[in-house]
Amino acid sequence: MNMHRTPRKELLAAFLFIAPSLAGFAVFYLIPFGQSVLVSFQDRLGGGGLTLANYKALLLSSSFQKAAANTFHFTAVGVPVIVALSLVLALLLNQRVFVRNWLRTAYVLPLVVPVASIVLVWQILFDWNGELNRWLVHFGLNRIDWLKSDWAGLVILLMYVWKNIGYNVVLFLAGLQNIPESYYETADLEGAGPVRKLFGITLVYLTPTTFLVVLMSVLNSFKVFRETYLVAGDYPHDRIYMLQHYMNNMFLSLDIQKLSAAAVVMAVCIVALVAVLLRIEKSFRSFME
């Protein structure tokens, strides 16, 4: 009897510990999202019949199409860039290089700096009267309106990489530390060169970490709206008009049904993308075993 009661008591104790977090998650995330799903199918706010008209109007909206295309393009470009740079920096920091500890600190600092402070720095750099344009004029070149031209996408990409690369580097460093040194010693005895060890040992055993970094980078790419909104406002240049801009503008115009439909579509796309990544990672693990 005691053997049966002990697991139950442990399960009850565990539930009591996580109950506050579950309650907070339900109140602030799960229940509001459920309400958004319901509102997205209503023909009027506060009631009415169920309809797909909101989703039809959403998908036919040129503003939504532009925002979705920009968001997809940013994720498709930004994630490979930040993953590749993070891996290169992690491999560099894993070696015995000079000022290694200083570099590790420098890459982690953006994680603890408030977003408002980050935006202030980037505004000083890329404003029409900013520091970068001052140097362009100094060398006899014309000013560039960075945030109101096609350069805006590059500015946001640089901000995204600078803000999130430190976290990815930490994850890659943890993965590199978990690779047994005996694998490299065996490869040295067999005469393997640096390139062969990189592709035959390092990248292979870093694959689970790489999937995690890709997943976190994808999720962070959808959070770049904070920086973009603070830098460029409600209606930024067309290149950096994201899905969150569209939803924010729908909220300001009190078009709650279309806002809810956009939120549901975005959530479904994120969940589907995460499910595909997890499926690929699971298949790779099975293949390795």
223 inside domain:
yes
Q: Are residues 106 and 193 in the same domain?
A: yes
Region 100-116 average pLDDT: 71
pLDDT value at position 83?
Answer: 94
- 46-50, 98-102, 133-137 — which one is most confidently predicted on average? 133-137
Residue 216 has pLDDT above 80, yes or no: yes
* pLDDT at res. 123: 80
The reply to whether 95 falls in a domain is: yes
% of the chain surpassing 70 pLDDT? 91
48 in a domain, yes or no?
Answer: no
Regarding whether 106 and 36 lie in a shared domain, the answer is: no
Over the stretch 66-85, which tens digit does the pLDDT of each residue have?
A: 999 999 999 999 999 999 99
Boundaries of domain holding 32: 1-40
- Is the confidence at residue 35, as pLDDT, over 70? yes
Does 141 map to a domain?
A: yes
- Residue 229 neighbours by CB under 8 Å, 6+ apart: 236, 244, 245, 248
Per the document, the length of the chain is: 289
Alpha carbon 275 to chain centroid, angstroms: 15
| 135-178 pLDDT, tens digit each | 888 888 888 888 888 888 888 898 889 888 888 988 898 888 88
Q: What pLDDT was estimated at residue 82? A: 94
* 64 & 166 share domain: yes
pLDDT at residue 287 tops 80: no
Nearest-CA neighbor of 105 among 192, 3, 173?
A: 173
pLDDT of residue 101: 65
- Is the same domain home to 4 and 132? no
Residue 100 forms part of a structural domain: yes
| Pair (90, 179) in one structural domain | yes
DSSP per residue, the chain: -HHHHHHHHHHHHHHHHHHHHHHHHIIIIIHHHHHHHHHHTEEETTEEEE-SHHHHHHHH-HHHHHHHHHHHHHHHHHHHHHHHHHHHHHHHHTS--TTHHHHHHHHHHHHHS-HHHHHHHHHHHHSTTSHHHHHHHHTTPPP--GGGSTTHHHHHHHHHHHHHHHHHHHHHHHHHHTS-HHHHHHHHHTT--HHHHIIIIIHHHTHHHHHHHHHHHHHHHTTTHHHHHHHH-SS--GGG--HHHHHHHHHHTT-HHHHHHHHHHHHHHHHHHHHHHHHHHHHHHHHH-
| Same domain for 87 and 143 | yes
Based on the fold, state whether residues 284 and 216 are members of the same structural domain.
yes
In a domain, residue 47? The reply is no
Mean pLDDT of the chain: 83
- Number of folded domains in the chain? 2
Mean pLDDT of 35-48: 77
* pLDDT at site 74: 92
Of residues 8 and 165, the one with the higher pLDDT is 165
Phi-psi region at 99: left, alpha or beta (left = phi > 0; alpha = psi -120 to 50): left
- Higher pLDDT: 67 or 50? It is 67
Same domain, 20 and 90: no
Tell me what pLDDT residue 1 has: 45
CB 120 within 8 A of CB 128: no
Residue 89 and residue 206 in one domain: yes
Structural domain contains residue 256: yes
pLDDT at 81: 95
Roughly what angle, to the nearest 10 degrees, separates helices 152-177 and 207-221?
150
| Domain match, 108 and 182 both | yes
Q: Are residues 21 and 99 in the same domain?
A: no
Which CATH number belongs to the domain containing residue 127 in this structure?
1.10.3720.10
Q: Specify if 59 maps to a domain.
A: yes
Residue 286: pLDDT above 60? yes
Pick the residue with more confidence: 118 or 170? Answer: 170
Kindly state the average pLDDT of the residues 90-106.
Answer: 72
pTM of the model as a whole: 0.81
Of the candidate ranges 42-46, 147-151, 162-166, 240-244, the one whose mean pLDDT is the lowest: 42-46
pLDDT at residue 3 greater than cutoff 70: no
Claim to verify: residue 182 and residue 80 sit in the same structural domain: yes
